[in-house]
Amino acid sequence: MLDQVHDYDDSKSLTVTAATSKLVVEGVSKWFRTPRATVHALDNVSMQVSDGEVVCVVGPSGCGKSTLLDIIAGLTKPDAGRVLADGHPVTGPGRQRLVVFQEPSLFPWLDVFGNVMFGLGLCPELSSVERREIAHRYLALVGLEKFERAHVHELSGGMKQRVALARALAPDPQVLLMDEPFGALDAMTREHLYDDIQRIWSDSCKTIVFVTHNMREAACLVDRVLLMSKAPGKIIQGFDIPLPRPRSIYDVELVSHAGRIADSLRGTVGGGVPE
Amino acid sequence: MKRFVIVSAFFTMLLVVWELASESGRWSPVLFPSVVSVAQYLWGAMMDGTLFEAIRVTLQRLLVGYMIGVAIGLPLGVLASSSQISEDTLGALALGLQTLPSVCWVPFAVLWFGQTEGAMLFVVVMGTVWSVIIATNHGARTIPPIYARAARTMGSEGLHLWTMVMLPASLPFLVSGMKQGWAFAWRSLMAAEIFVTILTGFGLGQLLHYGRELNAMDQVIGAMVVIVLIGLLADRILFAPWERFLHRRWGTNVRARMLRPACTRTRCDFHS
Ligand SMILES: Nc1ncnc2c1ncn2[C@@H]1O[C@H](COP(=O)(O)OP(=O)(O)OP(=O)(O)O)[C@@H](O)[C@H]1O
Ligand SMILES: [Mg+2]
């Protein structure tokens, strides 16, 4: 089964798009050394994302998707290879690349409003009135305007994730890195957010890399899906999703795209998944 | 209100049992003074000023020693948490010396400093510093790294990162470390005051000590009551507001948990 999957080399088009590429990942490898074992998390991963493109990374659990996002964000140093943002090597985190983390990352000492204001407070170009106005707007967008003064521990898991989303969107970063941002949301809220998010993204023209385990979500939101193999993770296949926007998650064509990706993913896991 | 009634009923009952026991005449009033005689002693000591003077002297020693202990202990605790080597050396040293009851420092201090205020301070600092180091070290190791990671992606670094993220993130352990240190400072100061009999200041522990010398049980018990009350008050004034703040923000209050199901960490792994 694995032999059907050829190496997907994204660098072929590198020369063509390098000029317009927002993000370039070049031959990135990563090993984690723990006292018990050395884990080979990423193996020579190359990809690029052009300006305003929305790309999704899918792959089996533990294949290194979060590690890849960490490296793009500049939070983790790769052991080999490098990442370019706007043509400059990434040496550390910066507020042009905001991250929505997989695990809860809200600050418990701030309330919901304070959490959204944290990132805005680091934007010197905004006045304090503008900051407050933006924070209100994004909290309303994720449907939490009534919870502005709530403490973090008083929110449900899905609400926390929506606050994290608002916190990342509010400072208007050029690049958004999202690790399963809708994982803890119920289907209703999620579908609602898909519509809102497609609108925001087409308005603001952000470059987005996100990770999901939901193939229909991937097909609904992105221009291109990158499929990673199981650990050590490498990118083995790319799918273009050339559907017009806005897309509905129930669109027949979209579902067939999603099915195609899911089939390939099953191939990487190795011989189907026992029901 | 109901809570208040129950609490005051409890303590009234305690006092009544004590009074009845002492009035029963089974024990000599010299060894088992009545509530009234202790209250009379406290009243008298309050009126002639010895009590307030003793409280002032004791609190001054306590505060100075405690602040020195915290000022040394906090940075050393952060240092101990910073690497495995410092944990193995400094952390182990602190753990070892913390198990030493602080009264054991008294002979050492008296030999070094003589019967002086310095000896007193030394004992308090030694009592405080190790427990502050241990609590800080432990706490700093348990700050979830995700906070700093999230803040750094938003552009926070340097001073901003330390004051706006690391400091508030470490509040739970800072408060528990300072509280731990306070309890130990209080205990070691009492030990020092009882054993170091100097004339530069007459503290609560010395009141206790001379109560024994004079065979004045009402003075001994009165001083003990005051010591307990000060300990309680300090806890209420210095630490309770912080702890309430932390419980509210972090959602760690046990009672709040029972009213609402505990918030579970959400980590969703959807495997097909
Ligand atoms: N800090 C770390 N120390 C040691 N090993 C790590 C560390 N972070 C990740 N790994 C290992 O690297 C591999 C990739 O982890 P990663 O979190 O990137 O997976 P993932 O694709 O995001 O998985 P999931 O879909 O379950 O979130 C895993 O085998 C994991 O055990
Ligand atoms: Mg992950």
For B117-175, write each residue's pLDDT tens digit.
Answer: 888 899 999 999 999 999 888 888 888 899 999 999 999 988 899 889 988 898 888 88
pLDDT at B264: 40
Q: What is the pLDDT of residues A173-203, one digit of tens each?
A: 989 999 988 877 788 878 888 887 888 777 7
Ligand 1, atom 5: nearest CA belongs to which residue? A32
Interface of A with B in 63-122 (CB under 8 A): 73-75, 92-95, 97-99, 101-105, 107-110, 118-119, 122
Statement: the pTM of the whole predicted model exceeds 0.80: no
Domain boundaries, chain B: 37-271
Instruction: Please choose from A39, A43, A215 the residue to mutate so as to test ligand 1's pocket, defined by most ligand atoms within 8 A of CB.
Output: A39
Distance separating alpha carbons of residues B64 and B72, to the nearest angstrom: 12
Q: Which residues surround ligand 2, an ion (CB under 5 A)?
A: A 66, 102
Poorest-confidence range of A226-230, B199-203, B204-208?
B199-203
CATH architecture of residue range(s) A4-9+49-78+90-96+174-269: 3-Layer(aba) Sandwich (3.40)
CB atoms within 10 A of CB A53: 20
Return the higher-pLDDT residue of B267 and A90: A90
Q: Quick one: fold of B37-271?
A: MetI-like fold (1.10.3720)
Rounded to 10°, the helix B217-234/B204-213 angle is 160
Contacts of A254 (CB under 8 A, 6+ apart): A216, A219, A220, A241, A243, A247, A248
Instruction: Please choose from A67, A69, A70, A77 the residue to mutate so as to test ligand 1's pocket, defined by most ligand atoms within 8 A of CB.
Output: A67
CA-based R_g, chain A, Å: 19
Q: How far apart are the first and last CA of chain B?
A: 56
Poorest-confidence range of A27-36, A47-56, B52-61, B200-209?
B200-209
Under a CB-based contact definition with an 8 Å cutoff, are residues A165 and A181 in contact?
yes
- Strand ranges across the sheet with A80-85: A38-50, A21-33, A80-85, A88-89
**Mean residue pLDDT across chain A:** 85
Residue B9: pLDDT band with limits 50, 70, 90: very high
Q: What is the pLDDT of residues B11-35, one digit of tens each?
A: 999 999 988 888 888 888 788 888 8
A39 φ/ψ angles, rounded to the nearest 5 degrees: -100, 125
A65 φ/ψ angles, rounded to the nearest 5 degrees: -65, -45
Residue B261: pLDDT band with limits 50, 70, 90: very low
CA-based R_g, chain B, Å: 24
Give the Cα-Cα-Cα angle A85, A88, A94 (nearest 5 degrees): 60
CB-neighbour burial class of residue B248 (10 A; exposed 0-12, middle 13-18, buried 19+): middle
Q: How far is A201 from chain B (nearest CA, A)?
A: 20
Q: How far is A44 from chain B (nearest CA, A)?
A: 24
Pick from B154, B171, B266: CB nearest A104: B266
Cβ separation of A75 and B266 shorter than 8 Å? no
Chain B contacts of A184, Cβ < 8 Å? Answer: 266, 268
- Looking at chain B, the whole-number percentage of residues with pLDDT higher than 90 is 27
| Ligand 1 lined by B270 (C-beta under 6 Å) | no
CB-neighbour burial class of residue A209 (10 A; exposed 0-12, middle 13-18, buried 19+): buried
Outline which parts of chain A fall under CATH 3.40.50.300: 4-9+49-78+90-96+174-269
Distance separating alpha carbons of residues B243 and B250, to the nearest angstrom: 10
Q: For residue B93, what are its two tokens? A: 């040293």
Q: Which ligand has the shortest distance to the CA of A213?
A: 1
